[in-house]
Structure 1
Amino acid sequence: MPRNGVRVRYQEAARGLLRSSVLDVMRELLTERDWSKITLGDIAAGAGVSRQTLYNEFGSRSGLAQAYALRLADDLVDHVEAGIVGNVDDVHVALRDGVANFFVDAAVDPLVRSLVAGEAKLDLLRLITLDAGPLLEQATGRLSRAFQHSWMAMTAAESDVIAHALVRIALSYIPTPPSPERDAPTELSVLLSPYVEAVRAARAQR
């Protein structure tokens, strides 16, 4: 009989795989047709699970849509984390590359494309605007931990400030992308990196 800790980790891994598979199917279906024309039955069939499994995991159709939006926010954190790991001691490039790579991926996401084209329904638009609280909270928390546990070595309070600002600003570009003549990732890095540099400089003088 496996120990409880092993069983819990297995259950968490299985749940993560289920959510990932379902959201991948949802993304694929969104490339073919509008969200309003996609049923939970379509998604369940594509993922090889029952509709009841979807309800158990996501609660409702809106819960599934929110989970998809949350994964967009997680993508931002993943890219910024990669930028931090790949650019040790270069705050400007770390933030610039992280945001730039997120924008590249977001630009081809079917949900984002429908938002930019003005085709998405209000309920989807609200997920990243008026009802974006869960996205901001999850992404800010994850990114704050990345700033704390990397070479930036910021405190919880310090990292929360920049993490919240970066997430809020970066996500605001999803429904209203920057014009082609603006280098938004560089501008965002120029705006935010001095804060990290100042924090690190102050710590070095102590």
Structure 2
Amino acid sequence: MPSTGSRNFIQGSARELLRTAILDAMRDLLGQRDWSKITLTEVAAGAGVSRQTLYNEFGSRQGLAEAYAIRLADDLVDHVETALAANIGDADASIRDGIAGYFRDAAQDPLVQSLVVGEVKLDLLRLITLDAGPLIEHATERLIGVMQRSWVAFTRGQAETFAHALVRLAISCIPTPPGPQHDVPAELGRIFGPYVAAVLAGRAAEIPAR
């Protein structure tokens, strides 16, 4: 008989797969038509689940949209984490490559495209502007953990300062993407890279010489 820990892991994995399937189905439908013309019944059918299962997981249409927006924020953290691992010792490149990957994927997302080039839907726009608090808090907390675990090895306080500012700036570019004259990933690398360098230099200065 599986242990309690094993059962919890299996249940957690099954729930994550369910959420992923539903959010993927929503993404597929957004690629076909605007959010205002998509029903929850269609999303549930696309995921191969019942409408009640969708409601049990997300609570409402708004809850589903919020979960989708949070997944976009998770993509930011995932890209930064990957870039840190690929650019050990180079903070500027880590931030530049992480943000560039995030912007590239976000620009292809149908929900983002509907905000940028389609008819603006206030319920979606608010999720990443006026009501973006939960999304920013979620991504910030995840990025704090990444910065503590990575080669940068920030303290909690250092990671909070870095993550909160980076997440807010990156998320703000979704509803108002910068013009082609700005290389925002490179700009953010030049802004945040020196902060990382200063933290590392300060840490090295505290190590007594032998």
Structure 2 length-normalised TM? 0.97
**Residue 13 of structure 2 corresponds to residue 13 of structure 1:** yes
Which residue number in structure 2 is paired with residue 154 of structure 1?
Answer: 154
Deviation at 1:20, TM superposition (A): 0.5
Q: Secondary structure at the match of 1:57?
A: helix
| CA deviation profile, 1:90-130 (whole Å, cap 9, x unmatched) | 00000000000100001110010111115231000000001
Deviation at 1:173, TM superposition (A): 0.3
**In 2, Cα distance between equivalents of 1:114 and 1:168:** 21
**In 1, Cα distance between equivalents of 2:71 and 2:7:** 25
Which consecutive segments of 4 or more residues in structure 1 shift more than 3 A?
none
| CA deviation profile, 1:154-179 (whole Å, cap 9, x unmatched) | 00110010001000000000011110
Which residue number in structure 2 is paired with residue 86 of structure 1?
Answer: 86
**Residue 138 of structure 2 corresponds to residue 138 of structure 1:** yes
Which residue number in structure 2 is paired with residue 187 of structure 1?
Answer: 187
Which residue number in structure 1 is paired with residue 59 of structure 2?
Answer: 59
**In 2, Cα distance between equivalents of 1:31 and 1:45:** 16
Listed as ranges, the gaps of 5+ residues in structure 1 are none
Q: Secondary structure at the match of 1:182?
A: coil
Which residue number in structure 2 is paired with residue 48 of structure 1?
Answer: 48
Deviation at 1:4, TM superposition (A): 0.6
Q: Give, as a single letter, the amino acid of the residue that structure 2 aligns with 1:74.
A: D
Residues 162-201 of structure 1 correspond to what in structure 2 (within 5 A)? Answer: 162-201=162-201
**Residue 105 of structure 2 corresponds to residue 109 of structure 1:** no
Query: Is the 8 Å Cα contact of residues 106 and 112 (structure 1) preserved in structure 2?
Result: yes
Query: Is the 8 Å Cα contact of residues 148 and 155 (structure 1) preserved in structure 2?
Result: yes
How many pairs are equivalent?
A: 206
Which residue number in structure 2 is paired with residue 69 of structure 1?
Answer: 69
Q: Secondary structure at the match of 1:205?
A: helix
Question: Which shifted more, 41-50 or 115-124?
Answer: 115-124
Which residue number in structure 2 is paired with residue 202 of structure 1?
Answer: 202
Q: Using the aligned pairs only, state the percent identity.
A: 63
Q: Give, as a single letter, the amino acid of the residue that structure 2 aligns with 1:203.
A: R
The root-mean-square deviation of aligned C-alpha atoms, in Å, is 0.7
| CA deviation profile, 1:34-71 (whole Å, cap 9, x unmatched) | 11110010011111100110011001000000000000
**In 2, Cα distance between equivalents of 1:138 and 1:120:** 25
